[in-house]
Chain A
Amino acid sequence: MSGRNTHWCYRCRQPVRLRGRDAVCPSCNSGFIQELDDMVPASTLDLLDLDSDEDRERQFRLLNSISAFMRQRMVDRSNSLDIRGRSDPVPEHNPGVGPLLIFGGQIPFRLSGNGGFEALFNGTPGIGLTRGNVGDYFIGPGLEELFEQLSTNDRRGPPPASRSSIDAMPTIKISNKHLRSDSHCPVCKDKFELGSEARQMPCNHLYHSDCIVPWLSQHNSCPVCRQELPAQGLNSTRSSTNRTRSSSSLGSNSNGRENNRENHGRRHPLSYLWPFRSSSSSSNHNGRAGTSSPAVRENNHHQVGYTGWPFDEG
């Protein structure tokens, strides 16, 4: 056992045996290595070896998820910029540019300022990707789990409302006046009872608490008109003026910023997986993408490149 090669070095492209306890290749000192036991014979997983339909389908599903997800993100980004009128220096992303990909289950990576990606292996840049080099990408351990999670979790649609904004939603007593305009709860379709309690969204739509809270904790959107709950329990008028005022008024400045940031994060419930925004978010995704999958690929060819991407799903 002790004399055998234990790891595969992706930079040297050869099996190596570790010296000491450092997880680096003994010949090139790169941390881009993987334990051989974790690896799966290339014939079954190699993206380029597509003789079976299964492989093709795997690849397709992967690319399908990647492309759709990336596009969704880019749209989210531009939407949030538009809607919130944010002036924070968020790096501009051109939605017309094809996605730039780099993945790694436990490999820190970040978006560099010019829109390219850098992956950091053991703290040293191991691979740098830029737009000029989009055919090169790395797919690391955990990717399958990542996409499994992306496609099975029902995280689509509007992001959740915050607990505090849900709690701040007023509870009202159903009066005759209410019954004339909103006789039924739009979610359960039951009749409101005179004198019973209901929750009122900022758009004045009424719901049973048990009907609206579970929905808002998944999606911040009025089921009837799609209006959002304002952030952090501010009522709608105050919060919108707050947002525009925050640059001039010193007192509300930090508050407004905080709200904005939090809100922004919530618009992208997957941001912990995709630290595109800044280097500050590159630290907390470890472990999220799982470690059980032995799927490791390195691919420097263009065969699975961009031309065939299913960008439009109808």
Chain B
Amino acid sequence: MTSSSAPSRKALSKIACNRLQKEMVEWQVNPPAGFKHKVTDNLQRWVIEVSGAPGTLYANEIYQLQVDFPEHYPMEAPQVIFLPPAPLHPHIYSNGHICLDILYDSWSPAMTVSSVCISILSMLSSSTVKQRPADNDRYVKNCRNGRSPKETRWWFHDDKV
């Protein structure tokens, strides 16, 4: 209701609420290194600050991740995108969409916001070149109208970065 860019937002199920409350508590006790989450009363959308890891191409850079949870989290993956400006990375599109299998086909309900964050930071850290994906313009154009990356049929082919 209040937000525009999220996909049709249904209220979180009770199971999702319970699980997210636990994750929130766990995050406060033990936040993943390099991430900051300002706790708000909105359990369904987390905005998380990421600091590029020291010694990597993204050192001293700060980005923001927006994590939206579906009604049936964790049976379904959260939608995770970078808020603009998204880091320059071969798997991150300029609209903030991230090509990372665990966010889509390889999601598992044992994963958490925290583990997803760590995967994203690891993906950033292993990058050897700051550039957009080769098909960035075409993809982004195709995603106008606020399409969710979860609607994209991603093709994962690179396990190095």
Contact = CB atoms under 8 A, between A and B. Distances in A.
A314 B154 contact: yes
B63 to A, nearest CB: 18
Interface stretch (B31-39, B42-50, B52-60, B133-141): B133-141
B109 A187 contact: yes
A17 interface: no
A5 B144 CA distance: 41
Question: Which residue among B22, B99, B108, B136 has the maximum number of chain A CB atoms within 10 Å of its CB?
Answer: B108
Given A57-B142, A71-B155, A313-B154, A187 B110 contact: yes
A215 interface: yes
A135 to B, nearest CB: 21
Interface string A149-164: 0111010110000000
A72 B154 CA distance: 10
Contacts of A157: 104-107
How many interface residues does chain A have, given as a range? 20 to 34
22 contacts: A61-B142, A64-B142, A68-B154, A72-B153, A154-B76, A154-B150, A156-B153, A157-B106, A187-B110, A188-B18, A188-B22, A189-B26, A214-B75, A215-B75, A218-B75, A221-B108, A223-B111, A224-B108, A310-B139, A312-B155, A313-B152, A314-B136
A223 B110 contact: yes
Contacts of B22: 188-190
A198 to B, nearest CB: 15
B15 interface: yes
A224 B144 CA distance: 35
B160 interface: no
Contacts of B108: 221, 223-224, 226
A71 B153 CA distance: 10
B10 interface: no
Given A188-B18, A311-B155, A156 B104 contact: yes
B76 A312 contact: no
B88 to A, nearest CB: 13
Contacts of A221: 108
Given A60-B142, A310-B139, A314-B133, A189 B23 contact: yes
Interface residues of B, number: 38
A186 interface: yes
Question: Majority SS of interface residues in chain B?
Answer: loop
B42 to A, nearest CB: 20
Given A57-B142, A57-B144, A64-B142, A313 B107 contact: no
A293 interface: no
Given A64-B153, A186-B110, 6 more contacts: A61-B142, A68-B154, A68-B155, A72-B153, A157-B107, A313-B135
B68 to A, nearest CB: 15
Contacts of B111: 223
A60 B147 CA distance: 14
A311 B138 CA distance: 12
Nearest to B111: A223
Contacts of A214: 75
A57 B145 CA distance: 11
Interface in A298-314: 310-314
Nearest 5 interchain pairs by C-beta: A68-B153, A314-B133, A223-B110, A186-B110, A314-B99
B80 to A, nearest CB: 15
A19 B129 CA distance: 67
Interface in B97-134: 99, 104-112, 133-134
B14 to A, nearest CB: 11
B106 A312 contact: no
Contact of A314 (B26, B93, B105, B106): B93
A65 interface: yes
Interface in A64-98: 64-65, 68-69, 71-72
B96 interface: no
A223 B109 CA distance: 6
B78 to A, nearest CB: 13
Given A71-B155, A156-B104, A310 B15 contact: no
B134 A314 contact: yes
A312 B153 contact: no
B147 to A, nearest CB: 9
B159 interface: no
Contacts of A314: 90-91, 93, 99, 133-136, 139, 154-155
